A and B are shown apart, each in its own frame.
Chain A
C-alpha cells in the first residue's frame, strides 16, 4: 500500500527520475566535470546531516569540519597504519565510528548550550582537532597531510588503475548508492517521531521538555547523527581528493559547510543537496577565473543572506506555492464565473 502511494506521489516520481538521470551521469559528463560532480555529491551528504542539526534542531555549528576531517583522516590513517585492512567495506564503518566518537566527545560539551555559545564552542573544538592534526606531524603528516590510496572494494582490487578511471567507474556508483541511502535514511529520520521531537525542541525548548522530551539527550543524538553524516561525507571525499590536510578541520571550512546548507535552504531535506552542488561549481568557477575567489564567495554569500533568506530551494518552493495559489485562485474565479 505504502509503495503504491509512493508511486502516486509526484515527489517520489521526481526522485525516481533524478536517480535515473544520476545513473547515466558518467556518460553525460567529461571526466573533469564528473569529478566535480562527485565532490558535490560528497558535500551533499554532509549537508544532509548538517541540516538535521541546523534546520530541524535549530543548532548552528561552525565546527562541522571536525567530523568531516575525522572521517577523512580515519580513512587516510588506516591506509598508512593498517594497509592490510584497507578495504572500502572496512573503511566506511571505521570512518563512521571515528566521527561518531569525536562527535560524542565534542557534542557532550556543546549541547549543554544553545545559540551563539553553542556555535563558538563547536568552532573552538574543531580548532582543537585542527591543532592536533597539525602538530602531531609524525602521526598525521602535519600540514602536508596524508595521501589516500585507492582501496579495494568488496574483494575487487584496483591495482594499477589510475585514479580518474577508478573514480569515473566503480566509485561513482558506490558514491551514488551511499548518497541515495543517506538521503532515504535522512528522510526517514526527519519524518520519524524522533525527527518530530527535534523540531519540537527547535520551536520551543521549554514546551518540548514539559511534554517529556529529553532535550539535551535528543540534541546530542542529532549532533552525533549529523557528525556521522559529515564523517561519511569526509571519508567519501577523501577518495575523490586523494589527499587529506588539517585544513578540513579549520573553521573556515566549516563555514563553507554552513554556507552550502544555507545556499540550498535549511529545514527542507533536499535544500542542502542543491546548495552543495551549486557551491561546488561556484567555488571552482570563482577559483578558476579570479585570484580573489574568496571575495566572490563572500559577496555572493552576503547578497544571498540579504535577498534570498530561504536559500535557492526555499526560494523555488515559495515561488512554486505562489504560482500554484495563483492558478487556484484563477480556477476558482473561473468556476465562480461559470456558476
Chain B
C-alpha cells in the first residue's frame, strides 16, 4: 500500500508543482500575486476536456496526449490578454489594488468559463483509460499517473534549462532579483513581464489539462489547487523555484499519507506542518 500512497503523493506533488511554479514565476518577476491563477487552471482543464471530447473518436490515440497542450495554449492566451489589459495598469499601484484586481479577474473568468462551456461537467477520461494499469513493486497502479509525473519532470527540466541557460531566462531572473538594477541595465521590463505572466498562466493551464483525464471538468475546479499552491509558496518561500519543488513534494506527500492515516484531518495536519515550518523559518524554506 505504501508504494501506492507514495506514488499518489508524487502525482499530486507534480500537479501542485506546475501550478505553484506558475504562481511563483509571476510573483517573482512581477511581484504580483495572481488570485485568478486557479481560474487559469480551470480554463486549461475545460479547454483540454473540450478538445478531447471533440477529437476522441477521430484521431489516433497518441494525438490525444498532445491535445492536452491545448490547455497550456489557451491559458497562456488568456494570461496574455489579462496582462495586456488589466495587470499592466497596476504595476505602479499598491498591493491592495493589485490583489483586488486579480480577485475581480477571478470572478470574471469563473463566469466566462460558465458562459463558454456551460455549467455542466465535462468528462474526458479517454487518455486515462487507454493507458491502463501497470505493476510496480507488487502493486497495480494507473499508468496515467506515472505519465503525469514524467511530463512534470520533463517540464521542470525545461524550465530549469530556460531559467538557467537561456538569455531570456537569465533576464527574467535578473528582474526578480533586483528590479531597479535590471531596469538600469536596459532590460525591457514590460515585455519580460508579459512573457512571465504568459508562461505562468500556461503552466497553470497545463496542470489543469493534465488532471482532466482523471476527473471531470467542473465549475470551481481551480479553487482547491490554488489554495494548495499558496501553501506551497508559503512553505517553499516567495519566488523560489527550488522552494516550489520541495514545497510541492512536501505538501503532496503529506497530503497523500495524511489521507491514508488520518482521513478526516489531512488538511489540518498539512497546516500544522506548514505552521511549524513558518514559526521556525518565517520566510519559508528557501525564501529570501
Using a CB–CB cutoff of 8 Å, the interface residues on chain A facing chain B are 54, 60, 62, 109, 112-113, 115-117, 119-121, 123-125, 127-128, 131-132, 135-136, 251-252, 255, 258-259, 262, 266, 291-295, 297-302, 305-306, 309
Closest 3 CB pairs of A and B: A298-B107, A301-B104, A295-B111
Q: Which of B223, B264, B271, B279 contacts A136 (CB 8 A)?
A: B264
A-B contact pairs, 18 of them (CB 8 A): A62-B35, A62-B99, A117-B238, A121-B278, A124-B230, A128-B268, A131-B268, A135-B265, A255-B35, A258-B99, A258-B103, A291-B114, A292-B115, A295-B111, A297-B104, A298-B110, A305-B97, A309-B97
Bound-state CA distance A301–B90 (Å) is 14
> Contact between B107 and A120 (Cβ–Cβ < 8 Å)?
no
Q: Which of B86, B109, B112, B234 contacts A117 (CB 8 A)?
A: B234
Bound-state CA distance A300–B271 (Å) is 34
Bound-state CA distance A117–B93 (Å) is 17
Using a CB–CB cutoff of 8 Å, the interface residues on chain B facing chain A are 27, 31, 33, 35, 86, 89-90, 93, 95-97, 99-101, 103-112, 114-115, 223, 227, 230-231, 233-234, 238, 264-265, 267-268, 271, 274-275, 278-279, 282
Residue of B nearest to A302 (CB): B104
> Contact between B227 and A127 (Cβ–Cβ < 8 Å)?
yes
Bound-state CA distance A50–B252 (Å) is 34
Q: Which of B33, B89, B109 contacts A119 (CB 8 A)?
A: B33
Q: Which of A109, A123, A266, A299 contacts B275 (CB 8 A)?
A: A109
Q: Summarize B's interface: helix, strand, loop or mixed.
A: helix
> Contact between B227 and A262 (Cβ–Cβ < 8 Å)?
no
Bound-state CA distance A131–B275 (Å) is 16
> Contact between B268 and A132 (Cβ–Cβ < 8 Å)?
yes
Bound-state CA distance A162–B112 (Å) is 40
> Contact between B111 and A124 (Cβ–Cβ < 8 Å)?
no
Question: Which of B31, B231, B271: most chain A Cβ within 10 A?
Answer: B271
Which chain A residues lie closer than 8 Å to B104 at the CB level? 297-302, 305
Bound-state CA distance A255–B40 (Å) is 18
